[in-house]
Amino acid sequence: MAERTVMVDTSILIDFYRRTDKNNSLWVKLVRQGYDFAVSTITKYEIYSGATQSQLEFWDTVFQAVKVIPLDETATDKAVDINSILKRKRKQIDIADLFIAATAISNDLAFVTLNRKHFDRIESLKILE
């Protein structure tokens, strides 16, 4: 992975898609700052499972431009550890968010999201401001 690669959450991609003026999206701002991008396979799933037929070409283009990182055994083990900690604190999060965060952590990537409420609960996740 490049030193300037960040993992983007589903919320970043949805925000980019929905904006009329894409230049105001956080994703474009990160591009201008020189970042490269990765997403979890879970993010890819979330996007395609919510996409309409008319959106598929747009998303195909997006996913050709970013590295898609699979949920592997290391990330799964990390998700188990994170969930255990959050469960003890009674602050568990959606399993999809858990797997996305674990993928970022296990690949030593900073993470970018518009959904800070859940991801801030994970102390070991490096969230890019």
User: Does a structural domain hold residue 126?
Assistant: no
> Is 91 a residue whose pLDDT tops 90?
yes
Average pLDDT, the chain: 94
Token pair in block for residue 32: 């201008």
Question: Could you give the CA distance from residue 51 to residue 62 in angstroms, rounded to a whole number?
Answer: 13
Query: What does pTM read for this prediction?
Result: 0.91
User: Does a structural domain hold residue 99?
Assistant: yes
Give the residue from 88, 87, 91, 122 showing the smallest Cα distance to 7. Answer: 122
Token pair in block for residue 107: 């690949």
Report whether 76 contacts 102 (CB < 8 A). Answer: yes
User: Does a structural domain hold residue 44?
Assistant: yes
User: Does a structural domain hold residue 128?
Assistant: no
User: Does a structural domain hold residue 127?
Assistant: no
The pLDDT of residue 44:
97
> Is 1 a residue whose pLDDT tops 90?
no
Q: CB-hemisphere CA count at 13 Å for 28? A: 11
**Total tally of structural domains belonging to the chain:** 1
User: Does a structural domain hold residue 129?
Assistant: no
Q: Which CATH number fits the domain that encloses residue 45? A: 3.40.50.1010
Q: pLDDT digits over 36-86, tens only?
A: 999 999 999 999 999 999 999 999 999 999 999 999 999 999 999 999 999
The pLDDT of residue 87:
97
What is the phi/psi pair of residue 29, to 5°?
-60, -40
Segments forming the whole domain that contains residue 58: 5-119
User: Does a structural domain hold residue 66?
Assistant: yes
